[in-house]
Amino acid sequence: AQKVTQAQTEISVVEKEDVTLDCVYETRDTTYYLFWYKQPPSGELVFLIRRNSFDEQNEISGRYSWNFQKSTSSFNFTITASQVVDSAVYFCALSELNYGQNFVFGPGTRLSVLP
């Protein structure tokens, strides 16, 4: 069955530090999709990125970057030079093409960026 693990329950950093959020997934499918979402204190869920299993190129968007490694079944998220506004809960999610239900979310990592 598909599964997403985010081993870091909570992380605290000081502003301007770099921080990496880990995501490890399990799937029996050869085609699948990985996602990251952000949930700030206001409660809404914000889509950040979608990656398919055939594209292992790392992605960079401003201060955000994602490292996808099929060999270790990981899809980690790095925030460079963190800011207070990055404080949120971050969810990793997995969707298989051929098996299982729709999205499976990890339990989330709460990131606190201190001024």
What is the four-CA torsion angle of 79, 11, 75, 27, rounded to 10 degrees? -160
Name which position in 7, 45, 81, 84 contacts other proteins (CB under 8 A): 45
Name which position in 7, 81, 97, 114 contacts other proteins (CB under 8 A): 97
Only one of the segments 14-22, 41-49, 65-73, 74-82 lies at the binding site for other proteins (rule: CB under 8 A); that segment is 41-49
Which one, 81 or 97, has the nearer CB to other proteins?
97
Instruction: Please tell me whether residue 33 binds other proteins under the rule CB under 8 A.
Output: yes
User: How far apart are CB 42 and other proteins at their closest, in Å?
Assistant: 9
> Which bin fits 43, alpha (ψ -120 to 50), beta or left (φ > 0)?
left
CA nearest neighbour of 100 among 28, 9, 22: 28
